[in-house]
A and B are shown apart, each in its own frame.
Chain A
Amino acid sequence: MSGRSSGPGPGPSAASSVERPALGSRHVLERTEFPSLLRSLRTAGYRTVGPTIRDGAIVYGEIRQESDLPIGWTDRQEAGRYRLEQRADAALFGYNVGPHSWKKYLFPSRERLFTAVRDGRSFVVQPEPVDPTPLAFLGVRACELAALGVSDRVFGKAGDPSYAERRTRTLRIAVQCGQAGATCFCVSMKTGPAVTGGHDLSLTEVLHEGRHYFLVEVGSESGARILDGVPLRPATEDEFRSAVASVGRAAASMGRTMDTNGLRDLLVLNPENPRWEIVARRCLSCTNCTMACPTCFCQTTEEVPDLSAEKSERWRRWDSCFNSGFTAVHGTSVRSTTQSRYRQWLTHKLGTWYDQFGESGCVGCGRCITWCPVGIDLTEEVAAVRTAPGDAPGGRVAP
């Protein structure tokens, strides 16, 4: 795949007077010049969304100017606990992931799919237009790029039109983590903290020996285009090394680990493991874990007819395997117990996702741990299933 748009000599884009940064090339953007990146996104017609502080957390929202970013703030996370804290420095991206994920932009929590309007003895379907404004995701972490990849494959396989339409108009500006949160385990899931693909641009924020700058790496043509008019200079070997060291510190500070060895078989072959009953005593069946998870895609559709019975709207909204209604057939839930719901969630996410999509459904972002009101931790549950006297030693199916 050759994606070079510029470089010496004539080429398809030689008409441009600006030398465009090559794919994979590395540059330095000084902290003071950061607003020029936001300006360039705006000029290119993007609506930029990214990290911003609201209600005591770093959520994703509109970024109009750099003061919308959580400058000088970080988050301290634990199972069932999240607090903002002031940093000693003025980092723009000095936090890990919060309660929101990018899925809310590609797969909205509530969405009208179409409206059916009565037309004599038949009806006409009015399709729902998708907002055409291209979105720039600013500050996408490595685990989140992985989650977006997982979602692309899930919705791609389903042929979901509105997801696909939104997805093609999305620019991904990654930020490599310089620290890990206490519930992060991307190293175990091999999804981070280094950004290795799926980005249009990748930034690494470096605060080192009194300097504050971003190492900018170009991941795509669209990313390169955004850099037109952004004051960059080539990165020195030292600057590059400082950035690598920062990602290295994140990798070394993972708050959680998960042993993924033989995980699919362990879960699939342990439906009667006693641990399911133990976790069900603590689990509220509240759905928070699945709502916060960037890859959970379950949804329900509903018909909303108006009182005149002249038209009916088809809506979809986020649903969860923790709801009894999720598996209701003829009014009766197939998974009536919390035990069966937790088992379904974990077994699908870490096990049968492989059968369905050829990979794990978990990217190790830790949201389900932090945002579970009672702090249920899937890494702990997996470890317990491993060591609990299971259905049979090593998780064989009992004969």
Chain B
Amino acid sequence: MGASARPRLGVFKFASCDGCQLTLLDCEDDLLAVAERVEIADFREASSAVLEGPFDLALVEGSITTPAELARIAEIRAQSKTLVTIGACATAGGIQALRNFGDVREFARVVYARPEFIQTLATSTPIRDHVPVDFELRGCPIDKGQLLEVISAFLGGRAPNVPTESVCIECKRRGHVCVVVAHGTPCLGPVTQSGCGAICPGFHRGCYGCFGPQDTPNTGALVPKLSELGMDPSAVMRVFRTFNALAPAFRAAGDAAEKESSP
């Protein structure tokens, strides 16, 4: 069956919750189609059979939080022709990047009985801070349609069609009623990248920014609106410091709000 002619796929996990890898398993019927087109060489969520590299396509989930991970990502990069990071952890440090705003040793002392056994870095950082990345697929978790598009683009040798526009455009295409305008609910949709299908506004909730900043994120114009809708500077700071706290535009907005909340 010429199995060796198929491109080899590796799926790798760093500091993360596994949700993005599970998105691949969640592809169900499409996963079988994927399995027909690629040789799954390493995907521990799906199979215990682990083959050696090199890999034609590496999907990398999770952020870098330990010295061991630093070494491992360099090795995976060296073994992979194309490396795609998936999810907010891999692309922006994830929720665990909140440690970057505090003191990790302090946390370790509070949480662990023997903190001296804990080997961890002071920060959680995205993969691209350490190795070159060919494509970043955003989301917390990623969207399965977008993941299939990335794989299909890789197989077809073309650029993935993953728009970097706002959540608002998806919200309107779906015919949702805007929660900011009609309910006075704060929403990060105008500064956040699409991809989720505007799920939260469809359930009367404001967008939480899971896909990180859109390509033209005017957070400076949105923050006064968030304040007008009742968020004080510390609430504004917290809303920008979630899964994508290290994404530059969200980081800047969170830092500015922090400055304002503690002058």
Binds A, one of B29-37, B56-64, B246-254: B29-37
B75 close to A (CB within 8 Å) = no
B148 surroundings in chain A (CB, below 8 A): 307
Bound Cα distance A238, B191 (Å) = 54
A307 surroundings in chain B (CB, below 8 A): 30, 33-34, 36-37, 148, 151-152, 155
Q: List 22 A-B contacts (CB under 8 A).
A: A56-B182, A59-B177, A80-B180, A82-B181, A99-B178, A99-B181, A99-B182, A104-B175, A109-B173, A284-B190, A284-B218, A285-B216, A287-B166, A288-B168, A291-B172, A306-B152, A308-B33, A318-B173, A324-B164, A325-B165, A370-B181, A374-B222
> Are A371 and B178 interface neighbours, CB within 8 A?
yes
Bound Cα distance A81, B185 (Å) = 11
Residue-wise interface mask of A (315-349) relative to B, using a CB-CB cutoff of 8 A (1 in contact, 0 not): 00111100111000000000000100000000000
Cβ of B74 to closest chain A Cβ, rounded Å: 28
Bound Cα distance A305, B161 (Å) = 11
Cβ of A115 to closest chain B Cβ, rounded Å: 15
Cβ of B235 to closest chain A Cβ, rounded Å: 18
B221 close to A (CB within 8 Å) = yes
> Are B175 and A100 interface neighbours, CB within 8 A?
yes
> Are A305 and B152 interface neighbours, CB within 8 A?
yes
A54 surroundings in chain B (CB, below 8 A): 177
Cβ of A330 to closest chain B Cβ, rounded Å: 11
A100 surroundings in chain B (CB, below 8 A): 175
B121-173 interface (Cβ within 8 A of A): 148-149, 151-152, 155-156, 161, 163-166, 168-169, 172-173
Bound Cα distance A323, B165 (Å) = 6
Chain A residues near B (Cβ < 8 Å): 54-57, 59, 80-83, 99-100, 104, 109-110, 281-288, 291-292, 302-309, 317-320, 323-325, 338, 370-374
> Are B172 and A373 interface neighbours, CB within 8 A?
no
CB-nearest residue of chain B to A55: B177
Cβ of B250 to closest chain A Cβ, rounded Å: 15
> Are B169 and A291 interface neighbours, CB within 8 A?
yes
Bound Cα distance A83, B166 (Å) = 24
A302 surroundings in chain B (CB, below 8 A): 161
B172 surroundings in chain A (CB, below 8 A): 99, 109, 287-288, 291-292, 318
B204 close to A (CB within 8 Å) = yes
Chain B residues near A (Cβ < 8 Å): 30, 33-34, 36-37, 148-149, 151-152, 155-156, 161, 163-166, 168-169, 172-178, 180-184, 187, 189-191, 204, 214-216, 218, 220-222, 224-225
A373 surroundings in chain B (CB, below 8 A): 168, 178, 180-181, 187, 190, 222, 225
Identify which of B166, B177, B189 contacts A56 (C-beta below 8 A). Answer: B177
CB-nearest residue of chain A to B215: A324
CB-nearest residue of chain A to B145: A304
A318 surroundings in chain B (CB, below 8 A): 169, 172-173
Cβ of A376 to closest chain B Cβ, rounded Å: 9
> Are A286 and B190 interface neighbours, CB within 8 A?
yes
Cβ of A100 to closest chain B Cβ, rounded Å: 6
Bound Cα distance A110, B145 (Å) = 15
A287 surroundings in chain B (CB, below 8 A): 165-166, 168-169, 172
> Are A338 and B218 interface neighbours, CB within 8 A?
yes
Bound Cα distance A305, B148 (Å) = 10
A281 surroundings in chain B (CB, below 8 A): 220-221
Cβ of A261 to closest chain B Cβ, rounded Å: 31
Bound Cα distance A338, B148 (Å) = 31
A282 surroundings in chain B (CB, below 8 A): 221
Bound Cα distance A102, B36 (Å) = 44
> Are B161 and A285 interface neighbours, CB within 8 A?
no
A81 surroundings in chain B (CB, below 8 A): 181, 184
A338 surroundings in chain B (CB, below 8 A): 216, 218
> Are A308 and B216 interface neighbours, CB within 8 A?
no
Bound Cα distance A283, B36 (Å) = 47
Bound Cα distance A364, B249 (Å) = 35
B173 surroundings in chain A (CB, below 8 A): 109-110, 291, 317-318
A323 surroundings in chain B (CB, below 8 A): 163, 165, 169
A319 surroundings in chain B (CB, below 8 A): 169
B225 surroundings in chain A (CB, below 8 A): 80, 373-374
Given A287-B166, A305-B156, A373-B190, 8 additional A-B pairs, CB 8 A: A82-B182, A109-B174, A283-B218, A284-B166, A287-B168, A307-B151, A309-B155, A320-B169
B181 surroundings in chain A (CB, below 8 A): 80-82, 99, 370-373
Counting chain A CB atoms within 10 Å of each CB, the highest count among B164, B177, B215 belongs to B177
Cβ of B78 to closest chain A Cβ, rounded Å: 28
Cβ of A320 to closest chain B Cβ, rounded Å: 6
> Are A374 and B221 interface neighbours, CB within 8 A?
yes
Cβ of B233 to closest chain A Cβ, rounded Å: 18
> Are B33 and A325 interface neighbours, CB within 8 A?
no
> Are A57 and B177 interface neighbours, CB within 8 A?
yes
Bound Cα distance A59, B34 (Å) = 41
> Are A306 and B33 interface neighbours, CB within 8 A?
yes
A306 surroundings in chain B (CB, below 8 A): 33, 152
CB-nearest residue of chain A to B30: A307
Counting chain A CB atoms within 10 Å of each CB, the highest count among B37, B172, B180, B221 belongs to B172
CB-nearest residue of chain B to A104: B175
The 7 A-B residue pairs with the shortest CB-CB distance, nearest first, are A291-B172, A286-B190, A109-B173, A284-B190, A307-B33, A55-B177, A286-B168
Bound Cα distance A291, B194 (Å) = 15
Cβ of A333 to closest chain B Cβ, rounded Å: 8
B169 surroundings in chain A (CB, below 8 A): 286-287, 291, 318-320, 323
A288 surroundings in chain B (CB, below 8 A): 168, 172, 178, 190
Counting chain B CB atoms within 10 Å of each CB, the highest count among A281, A304, A307 belongs to A307
B149 surroundings in chain A (CB, below 8 A): 304
Bound Cα distance A325, B161 (Å) = 11
